[in-house]
Amino acid sequence: MIKLSKRLLEIVNHLDFKEKVLDVGCDHGKLAIYLILNNHYNNINVSDNKLSALNQAIKNIEDYNLKDKITYHLGEGIEFIDNLDLDT
């Protein structure tokens, strides 16, 4: 099971668990992986503006066999958000 920092757990405590979500600045993808593994969401979009961080997130997503549940995007902030169907 993936472990989250206190900061990421605090984020989890403030989510309303809507159906569609985007994790901006996903870093290594731990938050998205945790949320999927704990059945809070069926799928999540993640983004990061650093290719090295996004590549690590992709590796972690693949390690947890969640490629079909987590979609990743390389980009600044929310520049592509208009193309996504999101709740949170």
Higher pLDDT, 86 or 33: 33
Helices (H), 39-82: 51-63
Q: Predicted confidence band at 83 (pLDDT cuts at 50, 70, 90)?
A: low
Provide the 3-class DSSP secondary structure of residue 52.
helix
Domain extent for 60: 18-78
pTM for the full predicted model? 0.86
Phi, psi at residue 52, to the nearest 5°?
Answer: -65, -40
What is the pLDDT, as a whole number, of residue 82? Answer: 63
pLDDT digits (tens, 9 = 90+) for 31-76: 999 999 998 889 999 999 999 999 999 999 999 999 999 999 898 8
* CATH code of the domain covering residue 45: 3.40.50.150
Tokens encoding 50: 């650093």
5-26 pLDDT tens trace? 999 999 999 888 877 788 999 9
| Cβ within 8 Å of residue 68, ≥6 positions away | 43
Task: Tell me, yes or no, whether 53 lies in a domain.
Answer: yes
Number of domains the chain is built from: 1
Measured between alpha carbons, how far is 76 from 64 in angstroms, rounded to an integer?
A: 26
